[in-house]
Amino acid sequence: MTRTAIRTCPLCEATCGLAIELDGDRVVSVRGDGQDVFSAGYLCPKGALLGDLDADPDRLRTPRIRRDGDLVEASWEEAFDLVATRLSTVRAEHGNDAVAIYLGNPNAHTLAGQLYNRPLIKALATRNVHSASSVDQLPKHISCGLLFGDPLAIPVPDIDRTEMLVILGGNPRVSNGSLMTAPDLPGRLTELRRRGGRLVVIDPKRTRTAARADEHLAIRPGTDVLLLAAIARTVFTEDLVAIPGHLQDHVVGLDEVAQTLAPFTPAAAAPACGIDASTIQRMAHDLVRTDGACVYGRLGTTATDFGTTTSWLVDVVNLITGNLDVPGGAMFPRPAHHRGSRRPFRMNRWQSRVTGLPEAIGELPVAGLIDEIETPGDGQVRALLTVGGNPVASTPDSERLDAAIGSLNLVISVDPYINATSRHADVILPPPATLQRSHMDLSFAALSVRNVVNYSPPACALDPGQLDEWEILVSLAAIATGAPTPIDIDGADDVVAAQLAAGLVRDPAAATGDLDADALLQTVEHRRGPERLLDLLVRAGPYGDGFGAEPDGLTLAAIEARPHGIDLGPLTSRLPDALSTASGNIEVAAEAVLADLERARQRCEAAEPQGLVLIGRRHLRTNNSWSHNVAALTKGQDLCTLQVTPGDAEDAGLTDGDSVTVRSRIGSVTTTVEICEDLRQGVVSLPHGFGHDLAGVELAVACRGGGVNSNVLTDRHAVDPVSGNAVLNGIPVELTPAGAGDGADIPRIGRSATPPMRFGL
Ligand code: SF4
């Protein structure tokens, strides 16, 4: 007898509704939920294989601890006892900052990660907090923090109403969207063009998204900052500034910005970015004249050495062309949950001990982690806790990081797999399978192109004795505060709930009326774990029942009753109310960014770079480093090829299928050449997240699947100086036929390339 569970897919940002047919706990089939209020039946190959992911025989079901050098199965009690003993030793001997934490991208996709990592970090009381954000979107958070006062207030394309969408450095037909939650993005992009709208893609590669756009401009990698600066400069100098009416009295610093952008004439920017001046001017005119246009930037703009300034320019261009906070433009979602207190954004409150990289949103850039581990002195990192993260695969200079992590006194991993990082662990604490967990998207509701809320209860029960992921995290938090083992999980969870309730009562933006924290907790006393916290956040949120004050408002129970989701309507204008800056205005003249524009100006004037540069790429069937162990997804194909243009391949003496060694300043990898006509000349492309075949990794399919780790090539010292975000796009590289050695007779290109970029250190 089968049953159908309705759930939101947790695998990527698109948040598709799934209808999962189960026989007992075995997944029989996965279909798109045709009744889902947002995705209306859409799903991609990854969602269709959710059952394979959960059934993966390599997924750990019980904890592992290191005994006599081997990772052996252990009880939860043994595992937590070991954590408690070893963690307290490290902290007693070396201080709290000796413990670093790294949160991987999956934390944005789990309720436990979204709700229990913060208490865990607080309990660890360390400054060495790192996450996948700083190899991805940290520059966007910072630019929004500077402009709008809130690093989590990120405007997204109002894609269902826009008449012109300009995508820089993103490939949503393959990624299914990022920093833009929209199920069925391929369909939405098709619909945009069907209704007469224009899609412009700016990318060094004619990606799948670019191939189906009205216009593709093959920009030189890393120069989006110059293109956007020239567009903005055109708008200023031609007197085209069109601030939306409701924002005209709420923007400060425009004159200063106009002055700083003065040198960025289209003629000056054109040679550097490889897009001619007349096209730049036309884009500026089109953005101003189109009723509802939007510029959107993704990884090709953030993971570059101008990540923050480029991200800032995206929203400055949207603002001055009349497209910020208006229908069809870039708009701010209004999620159902209360998003936390809105104090004006501040950053650089502390810095990395060795590299001086700045803190932002309570974390330090992961590019500095190697030096924190390797460099002796007070505060040297001696222990690492990873939660759903594989920094050896995902962060710069991975071979050196691998060795550094191997030298630590203690490694703890909350992870379902023994991967490149957790193979170093002394303790591995595996979370349950996705279908054994409840789910609700908080992070992505705040990035959604339509206001929607949905909740998924667990579709399958936990195994006997198994802990839920939130129970693991709250136990670790309790251990970090010195609580004795075995941990009283419910008691620790009561502390988390009480802290949340107290915070809501203090927050004037939370709809708590005159109730005190105890009264709030009484209203949710029938719940525990994430559901208790969710109920508090929803009831205090913008559509909430205000704990009884608005009887028709949302509660978690009301959301649970609608398994296909609740549509809360299209995006609406939210400024100036949603601003959190000290002045209450959009503050465009951020000092750090204006100073960085001088560096951009110098880049404009620099000689045309020679040699090859490396960019990344996405694949529809994979998701960063954590989906390669599903055979039905990768289908045995070699997805980790080096794409090279025919001309560059010929120059290097390479043909399709050849084995090629790719060298950067940091390291080298050897992979297979795939001739690709779609790349800009001088650009090669390698996907990230591969290279699992390391001693000790227990990922049978991924190890067999081959591929190399692109982060062997990335330089931890090459960062965006404003944010410290790692530069993962535009890496200078050289190619040689594999096995050909370094001899002068070997055809090589890139030898005369400009020196590798080094910034900020
Ligand atoms: S697009 Fe993303 S959310 Fe939708 S089914 Fe695929 S992986 Fe899941």
Considering the chain, what is the average pLDDT of its residues? 94
Does the pLDDT at position 682 exceed 80? yes
Q: Which CATH number is 158-336+574-597's, of 3.10.20.80, 3.30.420.40, 3.40.50.300, 3.40.228.10?
A: 3.40.228.10
Centroid of ligand 1 to alpha carbon of 44 (angstroms): 5
DSSP string, 619-643: -TT--TTSSTT-HHHHTT-----EE
Residue of the CA atom closest to atom 2 of ligand 1: 12
CA distance 170 to 295: 11
43 lines ligand 1 (CB under 6 A): yes
Of 214-223, 725-734, 747-756, the range with the lowest mean pLDDT is: 747-756
Q: Where are the beta strands (DSSP E) in 80-122?
A: 99-103
CATH 2.40.40.20 residue spans of the chain? 610-737
Does the pLDDT at position 302 exceed 60? yes
Centroid of ligand 1 to alpha carbon of 565 (angstroms): 16
Q: Which CATH number is 610-737's, of 3.30.450.30, 3.50.50.60, 2.70.98.20, 2.40.40.20?
A: 2.40.40.20
Beta pairing partners, 672: 659
Closest CA to 614 of 271, 275, 179, 205: 205
Centroid of ligand 1 to alpha carbon of 10 (angstroms): 7
- Ligand 1 atom closest to the Cα of residue 14 is 3
CATH dotted code for 1-55: 3.30.200.210
Does the pLDDT at position 732 exceed 90? yes
- Ligand 1 atom closest to the Cα of residue 43 is 5
Does the pLDDT at position 747 exceed 50? no
| 56-108 per-position pLDDT tens digit | 999 999 999 999 999 999 999 999 999 999 999 999 999 999 999 999 999 99
Does the pLDDT at position 754 exceed 70? no
Centroid of ligand 1 to alpha carbon of 757 (angstroms): 36
9 lines ligand 1 (CB under 6 A): yes
| 20-43 per-position pLDDT tens digit | 999 999 999 999 999 999 999 999
Cis peptide leading into residue 57 (ω within 30°): no
100 lines ligand 1 (CB under 6 A): no
- Ligand 1 atom closest to the Cα of residue 45 is 6
Does the pLDDT at position 626 exceed 80? no
44 lines ligand 1 (CB under 6 A): yes
| pLDDT band for position 606 (cuts 50, 70, 90) | confident
Does the pLDDT at position 253 exceed 90? yes
Q: Does residue 285 contact residue 241 with C-beta atoms inside 8 Å?
A: no
20 lines ligand 1 (CB under 6 A): no
CATH-assigned architecture of domain 64-137+348-429:
3-Layer(aba) Sandwich (3.40)
| 112-126 per-position pLDDT tens digit | 999 999 999 999 999
Centroid of ligand 1 to alpha carbon of 480 (angstroms): 35
Distances (CA, A) of 319 to 143, 156, 225, 631, 674: 14, 13, 16, 46, 41
16 lines ligand 1 (CB under 6 A): yes
Q: What is the pLDDT of residue 740?
A: 64
The conformational region for residue 565 under phi > 0 = left, psi -120 to 50 = alpha, else beta, is: left
Centroid of ligand 1 to alpha carbon of 621 (angstroms): 10
15 lines ligand 1 (CB under 6 A): yes
Q: What is the pLDDT of residue 635?
A: 72
Centroid of ligand 1 to alpha carbon of 45 (angstroms): 8
Task: Write phi, then psi, for 324 (nearest 5 degrees).
Answer: -100, 130
Percentage of the chain lying above the pLDDT 90 cut: 90
182 lines ligand 1 (CB under 6 A): no
CATH 3.40.50.740 residue spans of the chain? 64-137+348-429
Distances (CA, A) of 29 to 24, 82, 573: 13, 40, 40
* pTM assigned to the model: 0.95
Q: What is the pLDDT of residue 630?
A: 86
Closest CA to 98 of 484, 409, 368, 421: 409
- The whole-number average pLDDT for the span 487-507 is 97
Single-letter code of the amino acid located at 731: I
Mutation pick for ligand 1 pocket among 15, 46, 50, 185 (CB with most ligand atoms within 8 Å): 46
CATH 3.30.200.210 residue spans of the chain? 1-55
120 lines ligand 1 (CB under 6 A): no
Residue of the CA atom closest to atom 8 of ligand 1: 47
Mutation pick for ligand 1 pocket among 6, 7, 12 (CB with most ligand atoms within 8 Å): 12
Centroid of ligand 1 to alpha carbon of 322 (angstroms): 33
- Ligand 1 atom closest to the Cα of residue 11 is 7
- Ligand 1 atom closest to the Cα of residue 184 is 1
Closest CA to 581 of 571, 589, 569, 573: 589
Does the pLDDT at position 542 exceed 50? yes
| pLDDT band for position 759 (cuts 50, 70, 90) | very low
- The whole-number average pLDDT for the span 496-500 is 98
Single-letter code of the amino acid located at 220: R
